Structure 1
Amino acid sequence: MRGFTHQLMALVLSVGAGAAMAGVDIQQWGASTGARVSFVETHALPIVDVQVDFSAGSAYAPADKSGLAGLTASLLDAGTQQRDENALADRFADLGARFGASAETDRATVTLRTLSNASEREAAIALLAEVMAQPAFPPAVVERERARAIAGLKEAQTQPGYLVERAFGEAVYGDHPYGRAASEASLAGLTRDDVVAFHRQHYTAAAAHVSVVGDLSRAQAEAVAEQLTRGLAAGQPPAALPAPALPAARVSRVSHPAAQSHILIGMPGLTRDDPDYYALVAGNYVLGGGGFVSRLMKEVREKRGYAYSVYSYFEPQRVAGPFRIGLQTRGQQADDAIAVVRETLQQFIDAGPTQEELDAAKGNIVNGFGLRLDSNAKLLGYVGVIGFYGLPADWLEQYPQAVSALTVEQVRDAFKRRVLPEHLVTVVVGGEGDQTAAVAPDAAKLR
């Protein structure tokens, strides 16, 4: 579920190219407020899409306050110093504008879609600036959203899919910020003062990147960026996140009555600007990212029928985001399925793809991208990633050239150096509901 979604996201946001992208002109500059700005001018529709990314994801929350980043983002539309949450929602609706806010590992993201005519656009931008700079965080709403988060977590903890993701993050990253996850205790301990302090420290101009895509001029985009970040505290650039340590290979099992075993295998992998980026992403298409044409799918599903789906992907982040392989299978055959996955992976590490496989991967990656860029919002995703992570403005043009130039030797060399079996952790959740399932007696337990 989440694995397939992240596989697609990794391709959509990381591969980005194709001939259709060659003409995209991403203009970049620094606003007078200290924020960084990226802009693409396109007049195909009378729409302007705006995305403001802050270095305010879960990795920046204090170790004992996991869940704070997500709670803060969820409360941005709970009202401002000028209007309550209902009045705020009504005002966005009156303007025909759409607001969104979310937090992930590296960043918190605020989005706005508005009509491009001056009256609606200027009013919507002013409202977004108010939301970002002057959130009220009403005590009653903070309590309500915290209770909702705790209830959601309690429900999630009954699901093997959530449990395997959580245990995988802890096993791969340990005490690193990427390995932290909200608990009932950490959520219950969060206060309005925590939210206010986190917003004050991390929703700053110095930690912001503004992406603007749509029907406006460069001068108008400059005015938008200035208006959006003028009311923010100046702040300081975010502190560098530490590089994660490589874990020792081990198997961890989490009890759950599900008949299906949920399995994740992986280790810390890629940064966004990693020099092995192209070779690993292209090679991964052959290994497990290419759906039914991938090696893992052929070995695990087609030849042995162990799983309906099996996938692999790299999730590049500010520091080494995870490489993972995921599948679900009956509890009684979980160990056999894991053995096949490991054998298939080792063969790929040793020999790399065939020339035919690599050529097919190149063709799919380079030529299939135009279909994913048919709206301002999709293009905004690329622009946001490029700007937030400091990638070159012509990254979309560089990508097809780099992928097309890859050799089998380069892909094999990258996998040999970067995917290391002695550091791969394996997490298995569930399978007890399959009556003939056997749990290895020496398996490490995650509690």
Structure 2
Amino acid sequence: MKMNAFRLACLLVLGALLSACAGPFSGAFPTTEAQVAETDPQAPALDIQSWQTGEGAKVLFVASDALPMLDIRLVSDAGSARDGAHPGLASLTSALLGEGADGMSVDDIARGFEDQGASFSSSSYRDMGVISLRTLSEAQYREPVLALFNQVIGSPTFEQDTLARIRTQMMQGLRMETQVPGPQVNKAFQATVFAGHPYGQPSDGTLESLPAIARDQLQAFYRTYYAAGNTVIAMVGDLDRAQAEKIAGDISAALPQGQAAPPLERAAPLAERQRRHITFPSAQTHILLGNQATWRGNPDHVALYVGNQVLGGGGFASILTDEVRQKRGYVYGISSHFGPMAAGGPFQVRLQTANDNADDALTLTLDLIDQFVQDGPTAEQLEETRTSILGSFALGTADNSDIIGQLGAIGFYDLPLDYLQWFNQQVRTVTAEDIRAAFQRNLTPDNLAIVSIGPKAPQIRAADREAENTAAEEPADRAP
């Protein structure tokens, strides 16, 4: 009976969505970025309500009756940057959430959520640990799900046999990574760019660190970093303010009690180029270029974001894809991005190329980055990119799952509640000179790390460059 009600709700939602597809485009709802851009899209004016629970948790809530659903996301300062001397501790802790609670086995928990048509998940990143719940918003379904949710987050048991099982799975995953190039070069890049900083450690641990993590360490990590005072509670759904306050209060009381973790030290950029190569018998060479270049709260964030869309983040329209892939066919794929986090964030360019093309691809990519930092985008490139971003951004909070992600980030990084509108306006007004200046302030092309994996280290062609030292090579099984 419960599942039938859930299916009925889904059908009602689908019907509502289809009936809403009428608009200014000859009766058709806009379905492309270009059509959306023609409407002069604005960032959605979300009515974000915020308060703090008695236990110190920050709450962000958006009431939405568009779907008969409730989405909850707990975002704690509990990422791998808090691992300390035990790489993998945060990931292992997160993986064990929902695997057992006082008086409940993992099967009891799974059935409890599934019987009500709800979904529970947990995940771990460098900055944060995330616990998510989605359920129907009607009280008859919502209340038993929330009671189970609070029991799961309030009394995780971290049973020894479950720990052994999950740890074995994680170690098997690490062994499998040694057979493919991607994960190895990613970890080598992170360790190179963030050497000596918590962001440089492998988030999922190592074959040496995971066996040494004990149950009491998981319990202590959870009590410390998933504490109410170290957690943002984001909620979106068909609730009123009083209901939202009651739910947030119960969640906050169920969490361990404690304060916010101290801020991480800001990561410093590399002061000179670093080269690292992993020897691997592959038909392709994977190359990552980058440096520590930004952070959450960087006043240049919008200019860097928009400029990067022109340079390498805008797919086939970007400079790197057009010049390196489309015109010359040097690579199978190439892209760039800035990844701002609380205490830093890399600029990274990623490319995969046939081994014979590696030198040419690397040399051209470095030249294009250098040229872009010096010159910035053209007016035409900026306007095309601006239109694309505004069109995409207007569609970026189309449903509850999109909104909950925005709320979690706004709360965790202590961004203003009108951040989406602010960002939209900044994109509209940023100039080509703003972008050029921002790239020059935050990025020095000559200091970019070059990290690669393949049969041999790619070299920068000598043209008018000074010869560089040959990259030190290491066997693949020694990658961090």
Confirm or deny a common fold (TM above 0.5): yes
For structure 1, which segment, 362-371 or 47-56, has the greater mean C-alpha deviation from structure 2 after superposition? Answer: 362-371
Q: Name the counterpart of 1:325.
A: 349
Residue number in structure 2 paired with 1:56 = 78
1:71-96 CA-to-partner distances (Å, cap 9, x unmatched) read: 10110111101211111111111121
Partner Cα distance (1:417, 1:445) in 2: 32
CA distance in 2, matches of 1:432, 1:344: 23
After TM superposition, give the deviation of residue 250 of structure 1 in Å.
Answer: 2.1
Q: Give the letter aligned to residue 444 of structure 1.
A: A
SS of residue matched to 2:401? helix
List alignment gaps of at least 5 residues for structure 1.
Answer: 1-17, 435-439
- Letter in structure 2 aligned against 1:165: N
Q: Which residue of 2 aligns with 1:214?
A: 237
Measured in 2, the distance between the counterparts of 1:243 and 1:157 equals 31
2:318 to 294, 299, 308: 294
Change in CA separation of 1:278 and 1:433 when aligned onto 2, cut-off 3 Å: closer
Secondary structure at 2:229 match in 1: coil
How far is the alpha carbon of 1:231 from its aligned partner?
A: 2.2
Give secondary structure in 1 for the equivalent of 2:132: strand
Q: Which runs of 5+ in 2 are unaligned?
A: 1-39, 459-467
Give the C-alpha shift of residue 302 in structure 1: 1.6
1:444 aligns with 2:472: yes
| Alpha-carbon shift at residue 378 of structure 1 (Å) | 1.3
The AA in structure 2 aligned to 1:420 is T
Show the 5 A alignment for 1:214-363. 214-247=237-270, 248-363=272-387
Q: How does 1:18-417 map to 2 (within 5 A)?
A: 19=41, 21-63=43-85, 65-181=86-202, 182-247=205-270, 248-417=272-441
**Alpha-carbon shift at residue 341 of structure 1 (Å):** 0.5
Task: Kindly state the Cα deviation for residue 407 of structure 1 after the two structures are TM-superposed.
Answer: 0.9
Q: Post-superposition shift, 1:433?
A: 12
Q: State the distance in 1 between where 2:106 and 2:125 align.
A: 23
Check whether the contact 2:457–2:473 (CA below 8 A) recurs between aligned residues.
no
CA RMSD of aligned residues (A): 1.6
Deviation at 1:374, TM superposition (A): 2.5
SS at match of 1:123: helix
The structural deviation recorded for 1:20 is 5.2
Query: 1:227-255: per-residue Cα shift (whole Å, max 9, x none)?
Result: 11102232121111111122221221101
Tell me, in whole angstroms, the C-alpha distance in 2 between the residues paired with 1:260 and 1:338: 13
Partner Cα distance (2:231, 2:392) in 1: 32
Shift of 1:155: 0.3
User: Which amino acid is 1:114 matched to?
Assistant: T
- SS at structure 2 position matched to 1:392: coil
* Structure with larger RCO (C-alpha < 8 A, sep 6+): 1
- Structure 1 counterpart SS, 2:100: coil
C-alpha displacement of 1:432: 5.1
Deviations 1:183-236 (CA, angstroms, capped at 9, x unpaired): 100011111111111111111011000000010011111111111110223212
Kept in 2: contact 1:330–1:431 (CA 8 A): no
CA distance in 2, matches of 1:81, 1:409: 59
Q: Is the 8 A contact 2:44 2:397 kept in 1?
A: no
In the aligned structure 1, how far is the partner of 2:448 from the partner of 2:332?
A: 23
User: Which one-letter code corresponds to 2:57 in the other structure?
Assistant: A
1:147, CA displacement in angstroms?
0.7
Task: Give distance in 1, aligned partners of 2:446 and 2:361.
Answer: 19
> Take 2:423 and 2:386, find their aligned partners in 1: how far apart are those partners?
11
Q: What letter matches 2:60 in structure 1?
A: S
Aligned partners of 2:78 and 2:379: how far apart in 1?
42
Structure 2: distance between partners of 1:271 and 1:32: 30
Residue deviations 1:92-124 (CA, integer Å, cap 9, x gap): 111211000000000000000001011221221
The one-letter code sitting in structure 1 at the alignment partner of 2:395 is L
Q: Are the equivalent residues in 2 in contact too, given 1:289–1:311 (CA < 8 A)?
A: yes
Between 1:394-403 and 1:360-369, the stretch displaced more is 360-369
Provide the C-alpha distance between the structure 2 equivalents of 1:415 and 1:432, rounded to a whole number of angstroms: 31
Preserved CA contact (<8 Å) 2:194 2:200: yes
Letter in structure 1 aligned against 2:258: G
